Structure 1
């Protein structure tokens, strides 16, 4: 008889606030989810470096106030190598020990990513530079379905292999709807000789309209069954359906050998906390008071 699935390790993605209201929302989210004992939390980095300082401030605050292991997103967009590596040094000075190294999306108004003439050409070059500096755990992105700029899934696997060979020690996937999508990708990565952990990215659906818009931008296919289910649920049933689908996806992944899950929170903790509770990830007694 197979062993019962164990409690998975979890991590959470936040985005930096751009207003006072968003600041309160971020801190409320951190306060609600920190007691779940995440392996790490990550903080996103806006296209074109639009949230560069905000990201830095959020990373430092989350680390200092909530004592979380924070992985700062860093991209290659619209910056020289010197400017990008200065950000790395600033993080090191602040005690940050993890970076999620990404190519990044094209700035608003540009059709595609174009490297800065004095910048890193891609995520592989960025990872190589951070690894050569030393002192950081480097995570990278992975695509179970083809990246919008990729010709096919095989190219995404080959690109991930390059990132791991350059120094990334784990990868976080884009979100997906079907567990088999992840399992096929995991098998292809193993066949390609990628030994680094690949952490599934989970998006509990806060808004079906927003989720479809996000999927279109990042190349995630939307299955007809999901569209039919959310249409049938309507606004009144959307929250319950989203919880059930995300928890079911997580359980299937865990049963398939996954021991780490990364949640895209959108700085809204309640649905994420409900999904975590449904898969057995809860705060120890008294943890909420200790973090408050």
Structure 2
């Protein structure tokens, strides 16, 4: 099923993000986690692509497992920064062969290797280029990402909004936001995009705080800021991981409750492969949908 159909019938759509196991960690051990995720009945589950496309084979295999074993629609991430156009077309064929119909088209993060050269004529330079190519295939429902506080590489938020609007017009069916901790950023950015003619469904990306150092590192990478009151609450719990986790679950729940009241079209939970955390949040919001 194309996810555009999910967004047309589910208000809001609830989805999870998971990532493939790293290194030699066997994929099958992820099945136990997926079993728990599936019992929460998400509308779809997205599978990340790994830095530099390092897990692309696992991404496709896991997406196929989600669809075949659990009858849940998968959303396969696809980045273009480290894959040539020919390699992208090969991946597209693999996706089709595994009956994957939904793709989140991303540029991907620039590798830290100082010898890495990008862009080149052999690559798609932007996510918008990848989206346009995927649309030619007429096989996929295509998602794209945006940053409520602006992309860290953009000169300013206004230019970034224009880039998102342009990307949306290249054939995007829906958008998913990066994580944020202040709902005002998301609500204002959605309003701005609507004013610019972006009418695709937009899901809010929510990452529960379960580890302070980890969340600070991830937030730095995507440009998410911490409201002063949130920082204060985290500092008071810094010496007690259980208290941090409990607070993080409640904070995410409160974020989602506020977003549901504002009429958000989708909630996308960045689970960090922690099904019990997702389970607690879903239990908390069950009566709010």
Q: Does 1:275 align with 2:281?
A: yes
User: Alignment partner of 2:175: what SS?
Assistant: strand
Q: CA RMSD in A?
A: 2.0
Query: In the alignment, does 2:34 pair up with 1:30?
Result: yes
Name the CA distance, whole Å, in 1 between partners of 2:115 and 2:236.
36
* C-alpha contact (below 8 Å) 1:78/1:115 kept by paired residues: no
Q: Deviations 1:8-56 (Å, cap 9, x if unpaired)?
A: 3210111011256574663232111112222211111122221121212
Residue in 2 that maps onto 1:75 = 79
Which residue does the alignment assign to 1:197? 201
SS at match of 1:258: coil
Counterparts of 1:194-233 in structure 2, within 5 Å, are 194-233=198-237
Contact between 1:169 and 1:196, CA under 8 Å: does it hold in 2? Answer: yes
Gaps of 5+ in 2: 1-9
1:239 pairs with 2:245: yes
Using the alignment, how far apart are the partners of 2:13 and 2:39 within structure 1?
A: 13
Structure 1: distance between partners of 2:202 and 2:116: 26
d(CA) in 2 for partners of 1:197, 1:188: 14
Alignment of structure 1 residues 88-237 onto 2, 5 Å? 88-110=92-114, 114-234=118-238, 235=240, 236-237=242-243
Change (3 A) 1:238 1:249: same
Q: In structure 2, do the counterparts of structure 1 residues 113 and 40 end up closer, same or farther at CA, with 3 Å as the change threshold?
A: farther
Aligned residues: 277
TM-score (norm 1): 0.89
Question: Structure 1 stretches (4+) deviating beyond 4 angstroms?
Answer: 19-22, 110-113
With over 3 angstroms needed to count, the CA separation of the structure-2 counterparts of 1:180 and 1:243, relative to structure 1, is same
Normalised TM-score (structure 2): 0.90
Tell me, in whole angstroms, the C-alpha distance in 2 between the residues paired with 1:101 and 1:21: 26
Superposition deviation, residue 195 in structure 1: 0.4
